[in-house]
Amino acid sequence: MFTDSHCHLSFPELREQLPVILDAMAQAQVERALCICTTLEEFEDVYRLAHDHPHLWATVGVHPDTEGLQEPSLDDLLTRAARPRVVGIGETGLDYYRLGERSVGDMAWQRERYRTHIRAGRLTDLPLVIHTRSASDDTLAILREEGGLGSSASSATADGAPSRGVFHCFTETLAVARAALDLGFYISFSGILTFRNAADLREVAQFVPLDRMLIETDSPYLAPVPHRGKTNSPALVPWVARQIAELRGLEVEAVADATSRNFERLFSRVLTP
């Protein structure tokens, strides 16, 4: 019934209690989850989850906020993306939230990493899982530059198919949501949507068309109300669906069905035998 489009079951706080988490998913009617890769060092653990469990899938990518670990080459991403049950590229994007003493200009390494992921997505025709925080202008600009999303975006180009994907754990403005939708991307909402101070985000959730929307937990983080402050898991993604249903005057089953169909449409490899 429900699909969690973004979780981190390879993180220690979830991996160590995996049987309990999978049982809770079944009890909550969460039929599928996408396990997101954040480092190349983590990839084998993420992939093993997808390999061992028929209702889990994997991505390959290096989170924009990761430093001091293996930097991904295009070949690193392409080789891992070729494995069965790898259905997306990311988590990738830009994150200027923790600049510290650095300037935006100092983050050229992050922008180049993002470009590498976009190129991998185009060459594999796999969707991107995009993270953006305090960096939406550059996130969108580079996506337009690298993603083949100009006037010829409707057809494949010499360096691959036009980019497609999802802006995950969306917390940006309505204008950013509109820009992402105009580029053909999906918008995914997390438990943040249920937080008391998220009124502006709830307005965005009312605006985004139901056929361009996904739901996620981003677990183990961001547990939705009434579980805020606890360890999140895919079993709690129905609370996100309930919030969207309330905002839009729908039955929760309608949101579950629509977001699950959207997941299949975007991550089409999940339907490959």
Band (157; pLDDT cuts 50, 70, 90)? very low
- Residues 52-68 have a mean pLDDT of 97
Q: Angle 174-182/136-146 helices, nearest 10 degrees?
A: 10
Q: Look up the domain containing 87 and give its range.
A: 2-271
Position 55 pLDDT exceeds 50: yes
Q: What is the pLDDT of residue 98?
A: 87
Name which of 141, 164, 227 is nearest 192 in CA terms: 227
Distance CA 50, CA 48 (A): 5
Total domains, the chain: 1
CATH of the domain at 72: 3.20.20.140
Q: What is the pLDDT of residue 150?
A: 66
3-state secondary structure of 108: helix
Instruction: Give me the percent of the chain exceeding a pLDDT of 90.
Output: 90
3-state secondary structure of 131: strand
3-state secondary structure of 235: helix
Give backbone dihedrals phi and psi of 36, rounded to 5 degrees, phi first: -100, 135
Higher pLDDT among residues 156 and 202, named by residue: 202
Q: What is the pLDDT of residue 100?
A: 85
Distance CA 258, CA 273 (A): 22
Q: What is the DSSP string of 13-39?
A: HHHTTHHHHHHHHHHTTEEEEEEPP--
Tokens of 57: 């899938």
150 contact partners, CB below 8 Å, separation of at least 6: 144
Q: Is 131 exposed, middle or buried (0-12, 13-18, 19+ CB in 10 A)?
A: buried
- CA dihedral (261, 165, 88, 135) in degrees, to 10, reads -140
Position 231 pLDDT exceeds 70: yes
Band (154; pLDDT cuts 50, 70, 90)? very low
Q: What is the pLDDT of residue 63?
A: 98
Query: Which helix or strand (DSSP H or E) is residue 12 part of?
Result: helix 12-15
Q: What is the pLDDT of residue 271?
A: 86
Position 188 pLDDT exceeds 50: yes
Distance CA 135, CA 174 (A): 15
